Amino acid sequence: MVEIKPFHGWRYNPERVRLEDVLAPPYDVVSPEEQRLYLTKSPYNVFHLELGATYTTDTANENRYTRAKKYWDNWRQEGILLREKNPALYLYRLKFSWQGQKLTRRGLISLVRLAPWKTRKILPHEKTFDRVTEDRLNLLRATRAQFSQIFCLYHDKDLKTVKMLEKHAEPLFSVQNKDGTHELLRVTAPRVFKEIQNILAKGPLYIADGHHRYTTALRFMKEMEEKYGTTPPRCFHYMMMYLCPFEEPGLLVLPTHRLISLPYKKEELLKRLKSLGVLQKLAHFPSGEELQKFSAAEFLIFHEGEIFSFRISEDRLKIWAQENHPQIAHLPVAIFTKVLKGAFALSETELKEKGRLIYTPWVDLIREKARGNWWGFLLPPTPVSALEEVAKAGLVMPHKSTYFHPKILTGTVFFEILPDKGPPC
């Protein structure tokens, strides 16, 4: 069973800060320049907690993690942050536009009981990297708090959960950013808690964004259990999550495109690609409707204003399908990694380590940067159903297969971990 709980969240005091100045995107989607922008936007911006600055003078006793701890303690003492009087669940409603269509995505923020991967209660679809996990673990050890939610999906065919929350929710605030309007609402009715818990209990949950933070929470839980024991359940046995139904109409998954630096002249590069399939120069950039007709084995290639379509040959696809698990072989990113290997004898890991690969969901960035040695490869989207299929099979997708848009904001509500206390924390 999946166990969710309401909690006493900490939130920014709107009488002391302007919410637009203190909230920020998730830490892992911002550039270093954007990080600096948010850190200077307000002395109370959430990035001072979540992604603080580093300095050459940092030591074991003075660093981004110890500074985050000081901010976290001081802001609560000064009334910048206020603790909820009653345990609550939160409805997060995101209104946005995409390709001329107005959409709304609803989800709830709650605590979720941590479960080791082997229990299959909470399922991953991405590989994690120790370097990233170590950074998040150092922050969690220092602050004993979670400043952002990981994003998980669950099934709710009739959308009972979000409809029930909307019916009983009290609006807290609404803020806008470039992605849309973000609304946070609060529910404190125990009867609603019970209904939501019953619906979600059957599980499982599927991690959409936040694999590293979940892995971090599991490691931190193990450390805390060594000190406080495994029973009864305590705050460190839970993690703050944003939960959204698979069936939510506003659930949008974008492809993650590739911008790659390749040491070939155009003629040589195109020749290498033609050995794997059919390459055709296009007179114009395809429309949204045209792009939707592309299969998983069709890509667009952009370079200095020229656009090409590339379709891998059926014979080549059959060979590659035998080299991958059936649940993986048909995915666009899995096919593209084979193209890289077959045409250029390169891997994405190698390219990334050498600074020759940029991941982005934004076509405009590809069109702007694909010049000189840099080539843009535009991939089809990975269906959200594939995430579920891969996770159920106990597999992981190739790196950067999905991009859930828009991202929820960091700083809407915080979770304080009190190791010697149990839920509702």
- CA–CA distance, 354 with 358 (Å, rounded to integer): 11
Residue 374, helix vs strand vs coil: strand
Q: How far apart are CA 415 and CA 148, in angstroms?
A: 8
Q: How far is CA 85 from the centre of its chain?
A: 30
Residue 379 CB: number of other CB atoms within 10 A?
23
pLDDT at 327: 87
Q: Which domains does the chain have, with CATH numbers?
A: 4-252+406-416 (3.90.1530.10), 256-380 (no CATH)
Distance of alpha carbon 27 from alpha carbon 7, whole angstroms: 23
Q: Which residues contact 315 (CB under 8 A, 6 or more apart)?
A: none
Strand partners, 184: 92, 173
Q: Is 264 helix (H, G, I), strand (E, B) or coil?
A: coil
Tens of each residue's pLDDT in the chain, 425 residues: 999 999 999 999 999 999 999 999 999 999 999 999 999 999 999 999 999 999 999 999 999 999 999 999 999 999 999 999 999 999 999 999 998 899 999 999 999 999 999 999 999 998 888 888 899 999 999 999 999 999 999 999 999 999 999 999 999 999 999 999 999 999 999 999 999 999 999 999 999 999 999 999 999 999 999 999 999 999 999 999 999 999 999 999 999 999 999 999 999 999 999 999 999 999 888 876 777 777 888 999 999 999 999 999 999 999 888 888 888 989 999 999 999 999 999 999 999 999 999 999 999 999 999 999 999 999 999 999 999 999 999 999 988 999 999 999 999 999 999 998 888 89
Residue at 8: amino acid letter: H
State the pLDDT at residue 197: 97
Residue closest to 195 by CA, chosen among 155, 171, 168, 164:
164
- In 114-236, DSSP assigns E strands to 122-123, 145-146, 150-154, 170-177, 180-187, 205-209
Cβ-contact 320, 335 below 8 angstroms:
yes
Closest CA to 50 of 133, 148, 142, 131: 148
Angstrom distance (rounded) from CA 94 to CA 311: 36
Q: How many residues would you count in the chain?
A: 425
216 vs 236: CA distance, rounded Å: 11
* Cβ count near 98 (within 10 Å): 15
Look at strands 205-209 and 150-154 and give their pairing.
Answer: antiparallel
| Cβ neighbours around 97 below 10 Å, total | 10
What span, in angstroms and rounded, lies between the C-alpha atoms of 377 and 397?
Answer: 19
Nearest Cα residue to 89 out of 2, 166, 1: 166
In angstroms, the CA 253 to CA 397 distance is 14
Distance, CA of 51 to CA of 39 (rounded, Å): 9
Phi-psi region of 21 (alpha: psi -120 to 50; beta: other; left: phi over 0): alpha
Yes or no: say if 292 and 329 are a contact pair by the CB < 8 Å rule: no
232 by Cβ neighbours in 10 Å (0-12 / 13-18 / 19+) ranks as exposed
Q: Any bridge partners for residue 375, and if so which? A: 260
